[in-house]
Amino acid sequence: MIEIKNVSKLYNGSNALALEEMSLHLDPGEFVFLVGPSGAGKSTLIKLMFREQLPTNGKIFFNERDVAAYNQKELLEHRRKIGMVFQDYKLLKQKTVFENVAFALEVLGYSPKEIQKKVPEALEKVGLTEKANSFPRELSGGQQQRVGIARAIVKDPVLILADEPTGNLDRDNALQLMQLFEKINREGTTVVIATHAWDLVDRMQKRVVALSSGKLTRDEQGGYDH
Ligand code: ADP
Ligand code: ADP
């Protein structure tokens, strides 16, 4: 699904590589943790996969297409296929839970009829049917992140990219959230999660890709042997 080939990234105005000669292959259906210390390049890798950033060197292929060669229509299509989940949720405060999730479809041009069908399905998957008309401030952090996940999955993405999704949550909520990602993955969506939450990574026993100073240092299936 994603082929990252010898990718280096140098941000404008920076003199150190954020990623150096990184290669990584992701198959459809995988569940992958990206781990490593702050500054290792995890967020950069996620931004490159979403094509929010372009590599300075090397290539990224998404379903065999070079993402740097997209035209405007292909770029929109790429982003439609990828659901993003953020540490700080990025919910719209003035909108209800329903409206937050609906907005993700509105910007993609879905009809009101489709929106009325798909939003309740997504809220049901994350267990927030009862909170449809609540505002984000009325929800706990764990619930707000569930809205973030509903917003990501409502457009039926093939890939979910999550950057420190449990960074603001306590351990119990973090574990529940990881189990929700696991359920979404079981239903067929590829999941990539950048995280510092070692205890959860150990517990989940998934593929673990470790970065350090912009380089891939380990890539192991079924957990990580410390
Ligand atoms: P991580 O997500 O693992 O904490 P990042 O991808 O955020 O790592 O950062 C990798 C390196 O790139 C760090 O040295 C960081 O300071 C740098 N970096 C990240 N974003 C930018 C940016 N927009 N401009 C300049 N440097 C950046
Ligand atoms: P994280 O810890 O989640 O990787 P950071 O706190 O490093 O995120 O970065 C927050 C935002 O600032 C990101 O959008 C990142 O790209 C940007 N950023 C990070 N480091 C730098 C930097 N050295 N110069 C400019 N922007 C940066």
How far is residue 2's CA from residue 81's CA, in Å, rounded to a whole number? Answer: 12
Q: What is the mean pLDDT of the chain?
A: 96
Neighbouring C-beta atoms of residue 143, cutoff 10 Å: 19
Pocket test of ligand 2: the residue of 43, 164, 212 to mutate, having most ligand atoms within 8 Å of its CB, is 43
Whether the ipTM is more than 0.85: the answer is no
Mean pLDDT (whole number) for 55-67: 97
Neighbouring C-beta atoms of residue 116, cutoff 10 Å: 12
Q: Over the stretch 98-108, which tens digit does the pLDDT of each residue have?
A: 999 999 999 99
Report the amino acid identity of residue 125: K
| CATH 3.20.20.70 correct for 2-220 | no
Domain-wise residue ranges, the chain: 2-220
Our CA angle for 108, 110, 116, nearest 5°, is 130
Residue 226: predicted pLDDT: 67
Confirm if 209 and 42 have CB atoms less than 8 A apart: no
Task: Return the DSSP state at 63.
Answer: T
Q: Say yes or no to pLDDT of 223 above 90.
A: no
Global pTM value:
0.90
* Nearest ligand, CA 215: 1
Q: Please, which residues have CB within 8 angstroms of residue 10's CB and are 6 or more apart in sequence?
A: 16, 17, 18, 56
- Measured in Å, residue 142 CA sits from the centre of ligand 1 at 26
Q: Over the stretch 115-158, which tens digit does the pLDDT of each residue have?
A: 999 999 999 999 999 999 999 999 999 999 999 999 999 999 99
The atom number, within ligand 1, closest to the CA of 46 reads 6
164 lines ligand 2 (CB under 6 A): yes
- Measured in Å, residue 52 CA sits from the centre of ligand 1 at 13
| Continuous segment of H or E residues that includes residue 4 | strand 2-9
Q: Say yes or no to pLDDT of 225 above 80.
A: no
What does the block give as tokens for 125?
A: 């998957």
- Per the DSSP assignment, residues forming a β-bridge with 26 are 2
Residue 224: predicted pLDDT: 72
The atom number, within ligand 2, closest to the CA of 163 reads 3
Q: Choose among 192, 176, 107, 187: nearest CA to 143.
A: 176
- Measured in Å, residue 160 CA sits from the centre of ligand 1 at 21
Confirm if 35 and 29 have CB atoms less than 8 A apart: no
Mean pLDDT (whole number) for 157-170: 96
